[in-house]
């Protein structure tokens, strides 16, 4: 039997048995090498899921897989690939073709900061490919399988910046707006077939994301707390804003006109950027 977290631990899923029964036995977690993805993988393994770990770094995934096997006595498959490429997506689908996957957690993604025209356009396009195209392809591929089996779950990640344009992280905010709208659109379509869709919109999270985006985030949510709140909301809500800070900021922004929301988040995000844009 899979080992369990300590009773009462805040790191344990409240609905562990129910999630496994509804969405098991296998879960695919993209972006599993760090941050929210790694935390989701750990929580799902603790709940008894067999897990497919997907990210670019083979060595990191292998270490994580060894830890999950040892701690939770579950099966773990490692798929090292770059989902921003069509070849990487096809590699994932081929690697999971024979597995009874019931849950997709699409946590892979990255962002950039700075003036759009000063950034490398290849990075901007790769971000769209990973944050948007790969999510659509994975949701379509596994969603079809889930509808055939009459049950399943899809979890995707937008952001607190998804609800308005944000200067100096324009492409990232736009990709997350796409994910938010996409999830809201497919949720009622798939619900009738027994498939649950959830979009999680966290604020700043302590992970490798900030370093890649060249940001310094002084106050950020614990990835494990974000992952737990997200997975506990699956099947219950359309959108979850994990963490008190994200909920408060989301409420404050929801009461403001769109241009005001843009101005507020421009100031907030500007405080995180290492390479400050000209005044």
Q: What share of the chain is helix, strand, coil (3-state, %, to 5)?
A: 50, 15, 35
* Residue stretches of the chain with pLDDT short of 70: 1-11, 205-220, 244-245, 247-256, 269-279
66 inside domain? yes
- Chain Cα centroid distance, residue 186: 17
Query: How many domains would you assign to the chain?
Result: 1
278 inside domain? no
- The answer to whether the CB of 78 falls within 8 A of the CB of 38 is no
User: What range defines the domain where residue 161 resides?
Assistant: 16-270
Task: List the catalytic residues.
Answer: 172, 176
Cα 75 to Cα 47, 99, 102, 119, 206: the distances in Å are 13, 11, 15, 41, 28
Tokens read off for 223: 């990835």
10 inside domain? no
- Tell me how crowded residue 117 is: count the other CB atoms within 10 A of its CB: 7
Cα–Cα dist 146/135, whole Å: 16
> Under 8 Å CB-to-CB from 163, ≥6 apart: which residues?
177, 180, 201, 250, 253, 254, 261
Please give the mean pLDDT across all residues of the chain: 87
pLDDT tens digits for range 235-252:
999 999 987 667 666 666
Pairing of strands 76-80, 195-200: unpaired
pTM here is: 0.85
Check which CATH number belongs to the domain holding 31 and give it.
Answer: 3.40.50.720
């Amino acid at each position: 039997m899979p080992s369990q977290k300590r009773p009462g631990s805040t790191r344990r899923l409240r609905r562990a048995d129910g999630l496994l029964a509804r969405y098991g036995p296998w879960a695919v977690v993209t972006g599993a090498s760090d941050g929210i993805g790694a935390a989701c993988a750990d929580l799902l393994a603790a709940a008894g899921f067999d897990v497919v770990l997907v990210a670019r770094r083979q060595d990191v995934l292998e270490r994580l897989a060894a830890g999950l096997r040892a701690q939770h006595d579950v099966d773990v498959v490692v798929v090292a690939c770059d989902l921003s490429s069509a070849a990487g997506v096809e590699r994932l689908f081929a690697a999971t073709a024979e597995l009874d996957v019931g849950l997709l957690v699409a946590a892979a993604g990255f962002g950039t900061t700075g003036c759009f025209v000063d950034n490398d356009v290849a990075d901007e396009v790769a971000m769209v490919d990973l944050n948007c195209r790969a999510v659509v392809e994975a949701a379509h591929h596994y969603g079809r399988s889930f509808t055939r089996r009459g049950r399943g779950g899809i979890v995707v990640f937008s952001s607190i910046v998804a609800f308005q344009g944000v200067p100096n992280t324009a492409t990232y905010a736009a990709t997350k707006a796409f994910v938010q709208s996409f999830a809201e659109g497919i949720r009622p379509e798939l619900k009738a077939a027994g498939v649950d869709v959830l979009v999680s919109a966290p604020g700043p999270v302590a992970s490798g994301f900030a370093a890649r985006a060249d940001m310094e985030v002084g106050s950020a949510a614990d990835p494990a707390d974000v992952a737990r709140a997200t997975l506990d909301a699956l099947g219950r809500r359309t959108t979850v804003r994990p963490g008190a800070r994200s909920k408060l900021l989301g409420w404050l922004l929801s009461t403001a006109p769109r241009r005001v929301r843009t101005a507020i988040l421009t100031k907030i995000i500007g405080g995180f950027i290492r390479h400050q844009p000209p005044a």
